[in-house]
């Protein structure tokens, strides 16, 4: 994933940077950016585990976008 998105991406700096999260969140703007980045990853990386992450986290982002809400994890 790291090679598929810019170094300062939302995915790398706010989602995948740590194995543990406690009260971390994505603003609505972050959610939109993360969704675009996730779409880029889906198009560039064929690995099954990455595609599973894309599908799973993508569904969380889709719900947040549909309801215009941030994501907290």
Instruction: Give the contacts of 27 (CB within 8 A, at least 6 positions apart).
Output: 70
pTM of the model: 0.86
Kindly state the DSSP code that residue 17 receives in the 8-state scheme.
S
Strand partners, 26: 71
**Dihedral of CA 62/60/39/28: which sign?**
positive
User: 5-34: per-residue pLDDT in tens?
Assistant: 777 899 988 898 877 767 789 999 999 999
Q: Residue 68 above 80 pLDDT?
A: yes
Radius of gyration of the chain (CA): 12
């Amino acid at each position: 994933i790291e090679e598929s998105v810019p170094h300062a991406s939302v995915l790398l700096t706010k989602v995948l940077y740590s194995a543990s999260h406690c009260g971390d969140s994505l603003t609505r703007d972050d959610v939109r950016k993360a969704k675009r980045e996730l779409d880029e990853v889906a198009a560039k990386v064929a690995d099954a585990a990455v595609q599973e992450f894309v599908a799973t986290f993508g569904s969380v982002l889709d719900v947040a976008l549909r309801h215009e809400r941030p994501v907290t994890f």
